[in-house]
Amino acid sequence: MRTETAEPSSGGKGRPCDPAEDRAPRRVTITLEGHGEAIGSTEERVLVALERAQAFGKLTGLTRRLPVGCRRGGCGVCRARVIAGDYRLSATSRAHVSQAEEDEGVVLACAIYPLGDLTLRLEPKRLEKNGRSAEKSQGGE
């Protein structure tokens, strides 16, 4: 289910991003489940807030560094699942998040903007038999 409201509510719900919409940025707290919190903004990609938190030592216990790739929804390495909170979706490659997954809150962290406080966990793609999409767990599971 998608939500068309900008108000925070429970559950990971997305809606398409409208870049023309003019919003005053609001400060939000982004929680990376089990690893710490980042201060973000409603006008900033979630992954960018997490990168900054990592640089300030606010994320702990990741087995490797935060998975950062293209930051534009194309490469898929920052795949995650939103546990709680609402967000806007920007362009995301279907190669990495199917429509069914999108409906249940799977996102690329670089391709969502929080609408309020947000909790997510990293969810790299599973290894497939042919070696495709072999992103290893980044400690988020």
Partner 1 sequence: MAHTGVLRPGFIQLRVLDMPAAIEHYTKRIGFHQVTEGPDGRVYLKAADEFDHHSFVLRRADAAGFDLMAFKVREEADLDRFEKRIVDYGYAVDHVPAGEMPGIGRRIGWTLASGHRIELFHHADQSEPKPRSHNPDVWVLEPHGMRARRFDHALLYGPEIETNLDFFVKVLDFSCAERVDMPDGLLAIWLTAGMKAHDIAFVKYPEPGKFHHAAFELENWNDVGNAADILTRYDISVDIGPTRHGITRGQTIYFFDPSGNRNEVFAGGYTYYPDNPTRTWDAEQVGKGIFYYERQLNDAFLSVVT
What distance in Å separates the CA atoms of residue 88 and residue 57, rounded to the nearest whole number?
Answer: 27
What distance in Å separates the CA atoms of residue 115 and residue 44, rounded to the nearest whole number?
Answer: 10
Is 129 a binder of partner 1 (CB under 8 A)? Answer: no
**Among the listed residues 70, 83, 101, 137, the single contact to partner 1 using CB under 8 A:** 70
Query: DSSP 3-state assignment of 27?
Result: strand
Task: Give the nearer residue to partner 1 in terms of CB position, either 10 or 130.
Answer: 130
HEC string of 60-95? CCCCCCCCCCCCCCCCCCCEEEEEECEEEECCCCCC
**Among the listed residues 31, 41, 93, 119, the single contact to partner 1 using CB under 8 A:** 93
Question: Whole-number minimum distance, CB 104 to partner 1, in Å?
Answer: 18
Query: How many residues are there in the chain?
Result: 141
Task: Give the nearer residue to partner 1 in terms of CB position, either 10 or 99.
Answer: 99
CB 9 within 8 A of CB 3: yes
Binding region for partner 1 (CB under 8 A) out of 8-16, 27-35, 79-87, 90-98: 90-98
What distance in Å separates the CA atoms of residue 77 and residue 9, rounded to the nearest whole number?
Answer: 27
Task: Give the nearer residue to partner 1 in terms of CB position, either 8 or 69.
Answer: 69
What distance in Å separates the CA atoms of residue 45 and residue 87, rounded to the nearest whole number?
Answer: 10
**Among the listed residues 14, 73, 105, 140, the single contact to partner 1 using CB under 8 A:** 73
**Among the listed residues 16, 63, 65, 141, the single contact to partner 1 using CB under 8 A:** 65
Question: Whole-number minimum distance, CB 136 to partner 1, in Å?
Answer: 9
* Residues near partner 1 (CB under 8 A): 65, 68-75, 77, 91-96, 130-135
